[in-house]
Structure 1
Amino acid sequence: MNGFDMDSWKSNAADFAQDARSRAEGLINSIKLTDLLERKREEDKMKKTITTVLAVLGIVAAVAAIAYAVYRFVAPDYLEDYEDYEGDSGEDAEDADEDVVEEN
């Protein structure tokens, strides 16, 4: 009768169920941790991509600003030719100056 002892079967079944639950919880926690780590890796990859794109854009903007500054420094200033320009034609302005000188 010892082979058919129901109390020992019940305790063995309860131990088996408890062990199965703990292993299932461990497996679920492991899966959750794996998913969390995978999401973290994807977020880090996205951050790295965004950072790289912004760095490239910053470098391009800096090079463009430097090129513009060099252009403005090196390019001739065509307005220097017109500093004395008063809006009159050349001959008319000379005649007007002569008239003023003759009146005195």
Structure 2
Amino acid sequence: MSKVEGLIAETKLKELLHRNEAEKQKNAVVWALAIIGAIAAVAAIAFAVYKFVTPDYLEDFEEDFDDDFDDYFSEEDQV
């Protein structure tokens, strides 16, 4: 009977070892995806801060151009 019990115990031990190896592989994938996600989040936050902080030069240019354009023409010249 001890040989059968030994065989069963060995089988259970092998199952536990294989299960642990599979879980380690899954954990590695989860960690890799978590790191990639964290880097993407930091990059998105940095981009949002950059867009918020940088001034909009085009808006100022358009306003100045409209003012200069109005000075050269009078209302009588318009058709």
TM over 0.5: yes
For structure 1, the 5+ residue unaligned runs are 1-21
Count, aligned residues = 75
SS of the equivalent of 1:68 reads helix
**1:30-45 aligned within 5 A:** 30-45=9-24
The 1:79/1:28 distance shift into structure 2, 3 A limit, reads same
- 1:5 corresponds in structure 2 to none
For structure 2, the 5+ residue unaligned runs are none
- 1:56 corresponds in structure 2 to 35
- TM-score, with structure 1 as normaliser: 0.59
Residue 72, structure 1, aligned to residue 51, structure 2: yes
Identity %: 35
The 1:42/1:79 distance shift into structure 2, 3 A limit, reads same
Q: Say what the alpha-carbon RMSD is for the aligned residues.
A: 2.5
SS of the equivalent of 1:46 reads helix
